[in-house]
Amino acid sequence: MSTPETGEKLQMHIDPTERAWIRTAIAVLIVFAVSVTIAGFMLGIQVPTEEQRVNPNTLQDSLPWSEPGVRTIQENSEYHVYVVAKQFFYEPNQVEVPVGAEVTFFVTSTDVQHGFKIQDTNVNFMAIPGEVSKLTTTFDEPGTYDYICTEYCGLGHAVMFGSVVVTPEGG
């Protein structure tokens, strides 16, 4: 039977190299915190928020997901776009919004994890089964902006894309 060792003093020895690394780690954290703050509040970079949880199996039994696509909230100024990602396409694979409008994307998946990146914009997030990702953007120039899948989701990953057609004012 062993007896517990008592009377041993707890000594806190920190090696100088370790101390330097601890300081470095803290400095890096501070730099990250500052950059995130600048990105979020000064550059307007948004982190996609989890809008709501959904059941991917029954998602398309009811609105709005039974009819994904564009909803006009206010003509020429505010639109909501519902997109369902699936192996290996988006539903719908083309949406049309006017230039300059505030467009909020709601994206989810019914099978595996997909990506949703709209080229030439700050819209870039994951489409996750069970979660709705939401991000708002404004298209300043008319044209066609492709959205592509950025998460490897299977054999058809490379052909998974769609497009946002941004129409000119009054068009």
User: Would you state the structure tokens that stand for residue 49, as one six-digit string?
Assistant: 């928020």
Peptide linkage before 88 cis (omega within 30 of 0): yes
Task: Choose the binding region for ligand CUA from 13-21, 22-30, 59-67, 144-152 (rule: CB under 6 A).
Answer: 144-152
Residue 12 per-residue DSSP state:
-
Position 114 contacts ligand CUA (CB under 6 A): yes
Partners of 50 in the beta sheet? 133
Q: How far apart are CA 171 and CA 167, in angstroms?
A: 6
CB of 75 to ligand CUA, least distance (A): 33
CB of 80 to ligand CUA, least distance (A): 22
- Among candidate residues 79, 88, 126, the one with its CA nearest the CA of residue 107: 126
What backbone torsions phi and psi does residue 86 show, to the nearest 5 degrees?
-140, 160
Per rule CB under 6 A, count of chain residues that contact ligand CUA: 9
Position 149 contacts ligand CUA (CB under 6 A): yes
Indicate which single residue of 152, 159, 168, 169 sits in contact with ligand CUA (rule: CB under 6 A).
152
Position 131 contacts ligand CUA (CB under 6 A): no
Position 125 contacts ligand CUA (CB under 6 A): no
Contact predicate 139/129, CB 8 Å: no
CB of 157 to ligand CUA, least distance (A): 3
Give me the residues that bind ligand CUA (CB under 6 A), please.
Answer: 85, 88, 114, 149, 151-153, 157, 160
